[in-house]
Structure 1
Amino acid sequence: MSGVLDWLNSEAFTAFDQHVIWSDMVGNCVGLIALALGWRRSIWTWPAQFASGVILVAAYASAQLSGGVGKQLLIIGVAFWGWNQWQRGRREHGGDIAVRFASGRERAVLVAGTVVGTLIVGGLFTAMPDLSWNPWPDAYIFVGTLAAMVAQARGLVEFWFAWVLVDLVGVPLAFSSGLAFSGLVYVVYLALVLWGMRDWWLRSRSSSRPVLEGAAA
């Protein structure tokens, strides 16, 4: 096992004075595939997110970003829940995954949860500096990713807006943490997110049916 971890955290190549490790490169490439599958509303986005999370745990651990490690562990856990939610949605809507905008209450819960969660996690990282050398951006990405994936699992268009907000902090944090490939992939993520946002937005307008009803049950 240690041999695999050593390989994952070994250098793949150097470009523009940035050292790229295997776990950072492979995990983020799989993450890009997961995002593209999410845009296509394919249920296989969840296994891809699970695989990406497993690999990227090693990358963030090597950069001593506990928030990043926690983010990937959340992705692994939420991937199981998201798979079940979309399976239920497919059964209820004839094999398709319908999408919609969140209600006012759902938006308020997502925003409030993100703010409160960031304050709690950021406070924890600040009180325990060994967990993260950059506590507040790390905490924001940790909690923002959870909010985005919960919105995705429920088929909410706001999922894409949440990813945009995570990317705005994730790009500079990745570069400053020595995860150059993550930084570059975040830029590609942003392009895919904007594309996916447009697609889900248009699909939400073409259907007035409730989506994934009972998902919170």
Structure 2
Amino acid sequence: MIPVDNSLITEIIHQFSVQSSWELLAASLGILYVVLAAKESAWCWPAAFASTVIYTVLFWEGQLPMQALLNFYYMGMAVYGFILWRGVNNTENIIAITSRPLKFHIMYITAGLVISFLIGYYLDSFPETQLPYLDAFVMVFSVMTTVLMARKVIENWLYWIVIDSFAIALYWQTGFYATIVMFTVYLVLAAYGYLNWKKLHAV
């Protein structure tokens, strides 16, 4: 029989109880955002805005400065994405789903890794910062990939699968257990979003 770490289970239950209905609300709104985005609905962006307002505060208090900064950035991108997807005259699907060539993705990944390393190296000089390189990686690629989402680049979903996997590792080690549940759901929804957008792109 595989031994069960009762102390870990107790800690998870404790974190769910004390860590807040705020985190649960933010996670729920985050899931709603991805569901609506996968359906190509512009109303995903108001849900994202509300979720990121809450997460900006939570991550700042949890000493994850890059995640707090990332969610502050998301607030602005939520406004940008809503305007872009709705269009000036509220015409739906103004921005068409598109794809990018391999050369673009090679440059994209290389730039993201270099920037992540530089930011992680800087953050590592602050002893109070947790997991600086992982924090930086998740932040940098999330920033870059949110732009791809707003511009309806279909490969954004593939990047989110990778980002969400690393984010789960980050939040597991820093105690944001409700957020782990959200990002696990994100993994499934990212696969759904890619397949659905691919179908829509082929129409």
Cα distance between partner residues in 1 of 2:49 and 2:110: 26
Say whether residues 1:150 and 2:144 are aligned partners: no
Residue of 130, 133, 138 corresponding to 1:133: 130
Say whether the 8 Å CA contact 1:63–1:178 is kept in structure 2: no
Say whether the 8 Å CA contact 2:30–2:47 is kept in structure 1: yes
Cα distance between partner residues in 1 of 2:68 and 2:160: 18
Pairs within 5 Å for 1:35-184: 35-88=34-87, 95-96=92-93, 97-104=95-102, 106-130=104-128, 132-184=129-181
1:17 counterpart SS class: helix
Q: CA deviation at 1:69?
A: 0.6
Q: CA deviation at 1:150?
A: 0.5
Compute the TM-score of the two structures, normalised by the length of structure 2.
0.84
Q: CA deviation at 1:155?
A: 0.6
Change (3 A) 1:140 1:89: farther
Q: How many residues align?
A: 189
Q: Which structure 1 segments of 5+ residues have no match?
A: 1-14, 207-217
Compute the TM-score of the two structures, normalised by the length of structure 1.
0.79
Say whether residues 1:17 and 2:16 are aligned partners: no
Change (3 A) 1:86 1:109: farther
Between Structure 1 and Structure 2, the one with more helix by share is 2
Between Structure 1 and Structure 2, the one with more strand by share is 1
Residue of 186, 194, 200 corresponding to 2:191: 194
2:87 counterpart SS class: helix
Change (3 A) 1:81 1:117: farther
- Output one character per residue of 1:99-150: Cα deviation in whole Å (capped at 9) or x when no partner: 12123454344323322321222122112333x2110110011011112210
Q: Which structure 2 segments of 5+ residues have no match?
A: 1-8
Cα distance between partner residues in 2 of 1:152 and 1:186: 17
Q: CA deviation at 1:81?
A: 1.9
> What is the percentage of aligned positions where both structures have the same residue?
22
Q: CA RMSD in A?
A: 2.0
For 1:17, the aligned partner's letter is E
Cα distance between partner residues in 2 of 1:103 and 1:144: 18
